[in-house]
Amino acid sequence: VAMDPLECESCGRLFCKICINDWISKNPITKCPNRCTSNIVPVKSKALLRTYSMLQIRCSNAKCNKILKLGDLKLHE
């Protein structure tokens, strides 16, 4: 599950914002790990973002077994 998802304009793959920014800093010519040279941009589909934020995920804290919506995870942590 990509946190703060960004999307490749060419292939449409989603990436975590932190992860893809790290990738781009090390691979400025090939912006996408799929070797696309298109820009990595914020996800444009409001429907996709809404659906994505409703995904259920377990808290990453080993002492917490709470399952919550992805959109609520940052506030919870």
> Do residues 42 and 9 make contact, with C-beta atoms less than 8 angstroms apart?
no
Prediction pTM value: 0.74
What string of pLDDT tens digits covers the 77 residues of the chain? 888 899 999 999 999 999 999 988 998 787 889 988 788 999 988 998 899 889 998 988 889 989 999 888 888 98
CA dist 29 and 14 (Å) reads 19
* Dist CA 12 CA 34 (whole Å): 10
